[in-house]
Structure 1
Amino acid sequence: MLKAELRKKYLNKRKALSNDEAFVFSEKIFTNFVDYFKPESGQKIHIFIPIEKFNEINTHIFIDYFLTRNIRVFVPKIVDMKLISVEIFSETQFEINNWGISEPVSIEDSGISDFDFVITPLLYCDVKGNRVGYGKGFYDSFFESISEDSKKIGVNYFNPDECIDDVWKDDIPLDYLVTPTDVLSFKGGFE
């Protein structure tokens, strides 16, 4: 299936989830992430702020957990059409950008590239780790700028069941996918 078709299909599937379903699934994804990856104090995690109108995974659960355990938290911000990584703290001030996304007020790029984990938004991920996002290419460019040792982890309500037919040569696949029911590894097969 083509990315455009998958993007439309999974946006609709996501929008069909009730608020309660999305919250319960988000909690299960969070639990699966923590149980599998066991994040520790001092680690560096890049994670997105959810776009509520798109019913994205509630990553506030993750962020609150990380901040209370002295895990360093970084979030994306688009500056001059480039995704930068801003470190946040419990007192960080946020604003809504032109796309309706909550971002930190700060435009100071952390300069960090050796994240332990990069928790990545997506609409769909296939069985090879290829992802369908919103089509802007921000994360592919971001993935090129980070350490090869940074684990790129997608989070999604849905498990993969279709292949992406139009993967581009510049697309960078994920290393893992966390869903409400599974943690899938693309580094040599399913785990």
Structure 2
Amino acid sequence: MNKSEIRKVYLKKKELLTEAEVQSLSEKIFENLLSQFDLKENQKVHCFLSIPEKGEVDTYSFLNYFFENKIRVFVPKIVKGKLIALEINKETPLIENSWGIKEPAGNEDCGLKDFDLIITPLLYADQFGNRVGYGKGFYDRFFSEINPNSIKVGVSFFPPFENVDDVSEFDVPLNYLVTPTEVLSFFGLESKSTK
């Protein structure tokens, strides 16, 4: 399937999830994330701020855990058509933008190029780590500008079924996909099922 077909299918699937299902599945994804990645104090995690009411994996419990464990948190913000990273803490006020996404007020990129983990939003990822997002390409450009050793982790309610047929040279694949039942690795490391 091509990206536009996959986008339609998985937007529909997300719409069918109840609020309770989103919360329950998000908790399982977070448990699986923690079982795979042993995050430590002062590590740098880039994490998107989700819109759970739009069927996205709820990342706010992730952020609370990071703050409590003194893990540095960076969040994305689109400024002048480019995704930048801003560091936040639990006191940072978040303002809702025109897309309904909460974000910090500042527009100053942190300048970091090496993150320990980048928790990445998506609609779908296939068995090779090819990601289908919302079609704007912000994350592919962001990935191309940072240290390639930064671990890119997608979080999804859905396991990979279809392959993405129209992968371009500009698409940057994920290193891992975390679902409610498993953690998939795309670079020769063993995947773990948590069923």
Would you say same fold, with TM above 0.5? yes
* 1:131-184, Cα deviation, whole Å (9 max, x unpaired): 000000000000011111100000000000110111111100000000000000
Q: Give the C-alpha shift of residue 95 in structure 1.
A: 0.9
Q: 1:140 and 2:122 equivalent? A: no
Question: 1:103 aligns to what SS in structure 2?
Answer: strand
Q: How far apart in 2 are the matches of 1:135 and 1:73?
A: 25
TM-score (norm 1): 0.98
Counterpart position of 1:168: 168
Matches within 5 A, 1:171-182: 171-182=171-182
Counterpart position of 2:187: 187
Question: 1:22 aligns to what SS in structure 2?
Answer: helix
Q: How far apart in 1 are the matches of 2:157 and 2:12?
A: 12
Give the root-mean-square deviation of aligned CA atoms: 0.9
What count of residue pairs does the alignment treat as equivalent?
Answer: 191
Counterpart position of 2:29: 29
Q: 1:64 and 2:64 equivalent? A: yes
Q: How far apart in 2 are the matches of 1:189 and 1:130?
A: 17
TM-score (norm 2): 0.96
Matches within 5 A, 1:110-129: 110-129=110-129
Sequence identity of aligned pairs in percent?
A: 53
Matches within 5 A, 1:86-97: 86-97=86-97
Q: How far apart in 2 are the matches of 1:190 and 1:168?
A: 26
Give the gaps of 5 or more residues in structure 2.
none
Give the gaps of 5 or more residues in structure 1.
none
What letter matches 2:133 in structure 1? G
Q: Give the C-alpha shift of residue 98 in structure 1.
A: 1.7
1:77 touches 1:83 (CA, 8 Å); kept in 2?
Answer: yes
What letter matches 1:31 in structure 2? E
Question: 1:141 aligns to what SS in structure 2?
Answer: helix
* 1:29-64, Cα deviation, whole Å (9 max, x unpaired): 000001110111110000000023421000001000
What letter matches 1:121 in structure 2? P
Q: How far apart in 2 are the matches of 1:53 and 1:35?
A: 26
Q: How far apart in 1 are the matches of 2:9 and 2:189?
A: 26
